[in-house]
A and B are shown apart, each in its own frame.
Chain A
């Protein structure tokens, strides 16, 4: 068990003109589950691999516990990693796969056996201990990969998109297993994914990365309800937050030829980017005129795609709500997010939204 401290870490690949990772600062508390999320190429895997010791650190410092590990060999960092393609040794049985790391550390035989048995029990791998990885399904292989990490009892788990190779249904159940396991072992975890749903559901805290920089760090709901930038707003949440060009005029917002009241002072003037979550829009008698383009049925809800004055918009409605080709929409002024058009940064920091904490968190 240990905290991980990342201080001013940058990474420039040899021969590359620009750094892949720029000046990352992040403190991960002992036992915390941190998810790094971002689009492909944002540097999330690179950051994870720097913590693992598989990539050199160009600048800055990584600490695991009280120890600076910049120059420490991956084997001596007291971490365990779960890879996207499992990276199980194909010629070893499940048992040997899990025991290999311990064997190399000269752990006594009896203890190896005990730990492997314990991990196998926890991950329900008992019947498969003597099978080769090729005789296992994808989900089982991933469990073995996790078992290999668990038996080591490391200071931290590093997950590199461990669920990406699984089918959708399995991904959901494995997600639950990872969460349960992590809660139970209370081992500091760093988890990389490009899937915002996975990120939201697993994380104690989310780190949204874009182009090698941290966009925002926070609890999932905090990030969902108060995205710091338009990037975060459009990346977290499904469907993505609607982003519209608007103009601030005192207490009013002008969208195309239409006006909504903000009901409060807005710390900006002129052009802004207005963000509205799909579920915050409601059908009303008067308001913004909305033309329906097409409808996506999700069962529990219905995503209606359309436009306001030519600007694309999605709203999420109850399937029972009757639809018309043209409707009027209203939105509670609390639920308006304003962003700077140029920097994309959130404009109104003063306004607070009550952060909801889930009962079990």
Chain B
């Protein structure tokens, strides 16, 4: 029987879960110890006594060379980047996909394939030209410069295109007969139907934006624009003399960096699954 659950299955599941969860638990536990304890005792499995203090320090202490950037600021920067990414990519790729699927224009197919092939090119390939452009536009050290160049999304366009194609043509025809023009059809029919798709893309793109490391590092020299990912790196870089790196703070930042994506996934997944199970077209 396929359905009977045997102890062995449980064992495998438990092992798998441990394998996935342990690093996170270790990071959390370790972040509640002092840097010295970590340096001498290695990674910790049990909670320590310095949790509140560490997180308080990390979030509020003015650090960096200029002494202006706090952990909270970095969290905010990361959030702006993540949300800007996700929202911007959804808007742009939906508009592009809508044009590709519902409007007949010359070279539409060619256009699609051009967009599609850029899927093969990771950000790193075009990072120098992008930097050049942003630099000449004077957008270095700005949120616009951080977000804008990465908004065009072949992945998003592709997903939305496939999704729009799965919407029956009759719906468009019914809407046309009902007197809905292109804009009305998009707002009244396509948008509500795309909710689940938007949730899915939002999850993917938020995490993608949140985890950006190379691009913010290139684009920003001003510490006010530092993201969490850069902050973690910053802390571990202070190998000066006999000073012990603030391992606890690095771990605390890592844990902080973990929370928003988890939150986004938890919140949107519910919506996502609800949409998947309820909708039928």
Binding site for B on A (CB under 8 A): 52-54, 73-76, 79-81, 83-85, 87-91, 100-101, 104-105, 134, 148
> Which of B168, B177, B189, B192 contacts A74, CB < 8 Å?
B177
> Which of B180, B192, B281 contacts A104, CB < 8 Å?
B180
Whether B170 is near chain A, meaning CB under 8 Å from some CB there, is yes
> Which of A76, A87, A148 contacts B170, CB < 8 Å?
A87
Whether B14 is near chain A, meaning CB under 8 Å from some CB there, is no
Beyond A100-B188, A134-B278, whether A89 also contacts B171 by CB under 8 A is yes
CB nearest neighbor in B for A91: B192
Whether A90 lies near B173 (C-beta < 8 A) is no
> Which of B176, B177, B180, B193 contacts A90, CB < 8 Å?
B193
Whether A100 lies near B176 (C-beta < 8 A) is no
The complex places the Cα of A105 from the Cα of B184 at a distance, in Å, of 12
> Which of A79, A83, A84, A134 contacts B280, CB < 8 Å?
A134
Whether B124 is near chain A, meaning CB under 8 Å from some CB there, is no
Whether B179 is near chain A, meaning CB under 8 Å from some CB there, is yes
CB-defined contacts of B180 to chain A, threshold 8 Å: 75, 100, 104
> Which secondary structure dominates chain B's binding surface?
helix
Give min CB distance, B276 to chain A, whole Å.
13
CB-defined contacts of B179 to chain A, threshold 8 Å: 75-76, 101, 104-105
The complex places the Cα of A234 from the Cα of B115 at a distance, in Å, of 52
Additional A-B contact list (16), CB under 8 Å, known A75-B177, A89-B171, A104-B178? A53-B176, A54-B176, A75-B180, A76-B179, A83-B173, A87-B168, A87-B171, A87-B173, A89-B188, A90-B279, A91-B192, A91-B193, A101-B177, A104-B179, A104-B184, A134-B278
Whether A80 lies near B184 (C-beta < 8 A) is no
CB-defined contacts of A54 to chain B, threshold 8 Å: 173, 176-177
Beyond A101-B179, A105-B179, A134-B278, whether A81 also contacts B171 by CB under 8 A is no
Whether B12 is near chain A, meaning CB under 8 Å from some CB there, is no
Give min CB distance, A116 to chain B, whole Å.
14
Which of A75, A88, A90, A105 is the most central at the interface, judged by chain B CB atoms within 10 Å of its CB? Answer: A90
Binding site for A on B (CB under 8 A): 168, 170-171, 173-180, 184, 188-189, 192-193, 278-281
The complex places the Cα of A75 from the Cα of B174 at a distance, in Å, of 9
CB-defined contacts of A91 to chain B, threshold 8 Å: 189, 192-193
29 A-B pairs in the complex with CB atoms less than 8 angstroms apart: A52-B173, A52-B177, A54-B176, A54-B177, A73-B176, A74-B177, A75-B179, A75-B180, A76-B179, A80-B177, A81-B173, A81-B174, A83-B173, A84-B170, A85-B168, A87-B168, A87-B170, A87-B171, A87-B174, A90-B279, A91-B189, A91-B192, A100-B175, A100-B178, A101-B178, A101-B179, A104-B179, A148-B174, A148-B178
Give min CB distance, B164 to chain A, whole Å.
14
CB-defined contacts of B184 to chain A, threshold 8 Å: 104
The complex places the Cα of A81 from the Cα of B175 at a distance, in Å, of 11
Which of A54, A81, A87 is the most central at the interface, judged by chain B CB atoms within 10 Å of its CB? Answer: A87
CB-defined contacts of B188 to chain A, threshold 8 Å: 89, 100
Give min CB distance, A147 to chain B, whole Å.
13
CB nearest neighbor in A for B189: A89
Whether A90 lies near B280 (C-beta < 8 A) is yes
CB-defined contacts of A89 to chain B, threshold 8 Å: 171, 174-175, 188-189
The complex places the Cα of A89 from the Cα of B174 at a distance, in Å, of 9
Give min CB distance, B212 to chain A, whole Å.
34
Give min CB distance, B280 to chain A, whole Å.
5
CB nearest neighbor in B for A86: B170
The complex places the Cα of A73 from the Cα of B278 at a distance, in Å, of 34
Whether B193 lies near A79 (C-beta < 8 A) is no
Whether B279 lies near A134 (C-beta < 8 A) is yes
Give min CB distance, A93 to chain B, whole Å.
12
CB-defined contacts of B174 to chain A, threshold 8 Å: 81, 83, 87-89, 148
The complex places the Cα of A311 from the Cα of B184 at a distance, in Å, of 61
CB-defined contacts of B178 to chain A, threshold 8 Å: 75, 100-101, 104, 148
Give min CB distance, B180 to chain A, whole Å.
6
CB-defined contacts of A85 to chain B, threshold 8 Å: 168, 170
The complex places the Cα of A251 from the Cα of B184 at a distance, in Å, of 70
The complex places the Cα of A52 from the Cα of B174 at a distance, in Å, of 10
The complex places the Cα of A85 from the Cα of B279 at a distance, in Å, of 16
CB-defined contacts of B168 to chain A, threshold 8 Å: 85, 87
Give min CB distance, B149 to chain A, whole Å.
35
CB-defined contacts of B177 to chain A, threshold 8 Å: 52-54, 74-75, 79-81, 101
CB-defined contacts of A52 to chain B, threshold 8 Å: 173, 177
8 tightest A-B CB contacts, nearest first: A87-B170, A101-B178, A75-B179, A104-B179, A87-B174, A91-B192, A83-B170, A74-B177
CB nearest neighbor in A for B178: A101
Give min CB distance, B206 to chain A, whole Å.
24
CB nearest neighbor in A for B174: A87
CB-defined contacts of A101 to chain B, threshold 8 Å: 177-179
Whether A75 lies near B281 (C-beta < 8 A) is no
Give min CB distance, B245 to chain A, whole Å.
53
The complex places the Cα of A74 from the Cα of B178 at a distance, in Å, of 8
Give min CB distance, B274 to chain A, whole Å.
13
CB nearest neighbor in B for A154: B177
Give min CB distance, B187 to chain A, whole Å.
12
CB-defined contacts of A73 to chain B, threshold 8 Å: 176
CB-defined contacts of B175 to chain A, threshold 8 Å: 89, 100
